[in-house]
Structure 1
Amino acid sequence: MTPSPTADYLFTIATVGIVAKSLCASDPFEKPNAGKVAAAISVVFEVLRDLMPSGSMFRERKMGKSSGAAPGSRDWTQIYAIYGLEQWQTIIFLLFNAVLFTIMSLLYLTYFHPITLFFHRLLPIDSARFAAGFTGSVTALSALCLFFASGHFLYSSLPLHYDVVQRMVSSVNDWSTVKHALDLGCGRGILLNAVATQMKKEGSSGRVVGLDRSKMTSLSSTLRTAKIEGVGEYVTCREGDPSRLPFGDGYFDVVVSAVFIHTVGKEYGHRTVEASAERMRVIGEMVRVLKPGGVAVVWDLLHVPEYVRRLQELKMDDIRVSERVTAFMASSQIVSFRKPSQHLIGPGEVRLDWRC
């Protein structure tokens, strides 16, 4: 017997409730319990994936089973057990409101006649029925959108993040010659450890530096994940200002960054001139600390076109931009470039063939 959409819908609500309870059971300032949350979210991923239309990104990009998956792909529960969940407070907020709107929509369905009579006090009977039905429909659609948003945040934080990071690492041709690499905005260390793993695999004797400015990010926790991944000797972390990097000119062979630069200057507002100037300063700093002939790869949200313009102004070589990928409910792209060995005249060429 084929399960009805209603059964799937109610089952999704139940499993989401399990996730919320598992997350909230922990101290809000501590990492949520990995075992409980991993088991609960696993069911949510399966149900949400099955409810998505065929061909959708959420349905087809399943860890370890999507076409073209990186060779280093692993089960997402392993990723969560090591790195935890990014922006889990946002996910809890979305899930709470989704459940709230679901309850409201079920109440509308159960008490539709009394609600219609209430509207009838203000409107003609036909208009009252329409108003009650419209309000109930909007409530149900809001619940569905909130469930989708929370599911997409889960997906972006774990499978998508890991998958894109592997693709970023594979865009650097030869890691064996890399002596110094920088991960700008290292956060939980997913990209940082992927770089270190690749350096270890290729037999490099170098190190990768993870830099993060956020006091909310525990660098000791990031170093702990590196030890768990078996690359502790390749990794070092430090706090620093991304717009004034504490490194000399031309120090790094490779510079990488994942979903970080768009947060720089957010205190001014994302679309203000001041915020844009701060982001451009970070791009300039990345170029400054990159060795001539060095490669940089950036995955970020919303502002990649302005990064490309800045890189053209700085006359970078081999600028490549990926197709758009939705992450954290926003448009994201990957841009990679190479610092020329000598100064060139004229704007750099932009290629749109970097597949994500």
Structure 2
Amino acid sequence: MNHRSNLNPLHTSLSFSSAAYPSPSSKMTSKSFRHSMQIYAIYGMDEWQTLLFLLFHAVVFSFLSALLLLYFTPFSVLLHSYIFPSLPAPFSRFIAGFLGSLTAISAVCLYFASANIFHSAVSLHWDMAQRMLASVTDWSTVRTALDVGCGRGILLNSVALMLKKQGSSGRVVGLDRRRKTTLATLRTAAIEGVQEYVTCREGDPRRLPFSDSYFDVVVSGVYLHTVGKEYGHRSAAAAAERGKVLGEVVRVLKPGGVGVVWDLVCVPEYVERLRELRMEEIRVSERVTAYMVSSQIVSFRKPREGTVGVEALDWRGSIC
């Protein structure tokens, strides 16, 4: 029997809509700015090594550009005397000016990259989490939710806060590969006052430790692109590993359940996989710059037809 023939082609339609994902800037007020500062205080950031690396080099390049500006004439003479003695003096001045401009531009770019990473790590992450929550039309019916790659818990706690707001008795499970991270996540949940709604587990997203059709909602924020990076980010093997995670997400979703993924660069790849898995209501947000690259949210619904689980299993096995 051909299971695909039983599925309505409209179920796999793809739409690009910004209406379903309100813009992060649409509600920016002084109150939300103060709240952002509170978010930084609670969650900190995982990318602090990268931030310090960029800031260190930004300061170094700023110092070099200032030296070249202050000692432009002596440096030009030095270039002309020892490096380019056979060339006209204006050429040495041009080289000195070019090097000074290059170091100054490099410093500006490094400061900009540092600011973008600092913003993306927490403030933008929180804003995008709120947009992801808007993809689920009725949280009052949600009893079980999963956050794949929960990190410090920004998205996880956002889900928990939504459950608390709805007066739900449901719970959200955060999955991460590192036990140290899950312990830190539980601490942030306690600070947010949602510890009774949150459970954390250590595990591999390519083999989720949950039974089939267990969760009403599965979310993931800026995580899936890290799966399979040991094979090279753009390699077919890495794409296959990310495909396994999507297959697992579909497997643990209940029929009619909703999946929402925010990630960098790879979202078009996820859309193709979700089409192969015959998901319904696939929606993709507009592009948002995060960590200096393009990011998007993709949401989908698992069909209620029982044949989808078979197709998902067949597809998962074909890439192993």
Alignment partner, residue 120 of structure 1: 80
Structure of greater Rg: 2
Name the aligned partner's letter for residue 321 of structure 1: V
Choose from 305, 311, 317 the match for 2:268.
305
Q: Would the alpha carbon gap of residues 331 and 250 (structure 1) be closer, same or farther in structure 2, given more than 3 Å must change?
A: same
Whether 1:238 and 2:197 are equivalent positions in the alignment is no
Q: Distance in 1 between matches of 2:119 and 2:190?
A: 25
Matching of residue 98 in structure 1 with residue 83 in structure 2: no
Counterpart residue number, 2:233: 270
SS of residue paired to 2:140: coil
Structure 1 residue 316 corresponds to structure 2 residue 266:
no
Uncovered stretches (5+) of structure 2, i.e. residues with no partner: 1-22, 309-320
Structure 1 residue 174 displacement after superposition: 0.8
- Matching of residue 172 in structure 1 with residue 136 in structure 2: yes
Q: Counterpart in 1 of 2:17?
A: none
Contact kept, 8 Å, 2:40 with 2:123, in 1: the verdict is: no
In structure 1, give the amino acid aligned to 2:203: G
Query: Residues of 1 paired with 2:183 and 2:49: CA distance?
Result: 21
Match of 1:88 among 40, 48, 69: 48
CA distance in 2, matches of 1:112, 1:81: 43
RMSD: 1.6
The letter for the 1-side match of 2:105 is: L
The one-letter amino acid of 2:293's match is A
Query: TM-score, normalized by length of structure 1?
Result: 0.76
Q: Deviations over 1:57-79 (max 9, x none)?
A: xxxx9x8xx43359x94522210
- Match for 2:26 among 60, 67, 76? 67
**Residue-pair matches, total:** 279
Between Structure 1 and Structure 2, the one with more helix by share is: 2
Spell out the pairing of 1:273-352 with structure 2 (5 A cutoff): 273-342=236-305, 343=307
| Distance (Å, rounded) in 2 between the aligned partners of 1:299 and 1:177 | 23
On the 8 A contact 2:218/2:258 being kept in 1, the answer is yes
Q: How does 1:187-198 map to 2 (within 5 A)?
A: 187-198=151-162
* 1:13 corresponding residue in structure 2: none
In structure 2, C-alpha distance between the alignment counterparts of 1:290 and 1:331, rounded to whole Å: 27
Q: Equivalent residue for 2:115?
A: 151
Do the aligned partners of 1:69 and 1:163 also contact (CA within 8 Å) in 2?
no
Q: Which runs of 4+ in 1 moved over 2 A?
A: 66-70
Alignment match, 1:32: none
The alignment partner of 2:284 has SS state of strand
Whole-Å separation in 1 of the counterparts to 2:69 and 2:38: 41
Task: Report whether the alignment pairs 1:201 with 2:161.
Answer: no
Aligned residues: percent identity? 65
1:79 aligns with 2:43: no
Tell me, in whole angstroms, the C-alpha distance in 2 between the residues paired with 1:76 and 1:253.
29
Where in structure 1 are there 5+ consecutive unaligned residues?
1-60, 345-356
Q: What residue in structure 1 maps to residue 15 of structure 2?
A: none
Alpha-carbon contact 1:183-1:209 (below 8 Å) kept: yes
Q: Distance in 1 between matches of 2:38 and 2:27?
A: 20
3-state secondary structure, aligned to 2:139: coil
Which residue identity does 2:214 align to in structure 1? Y
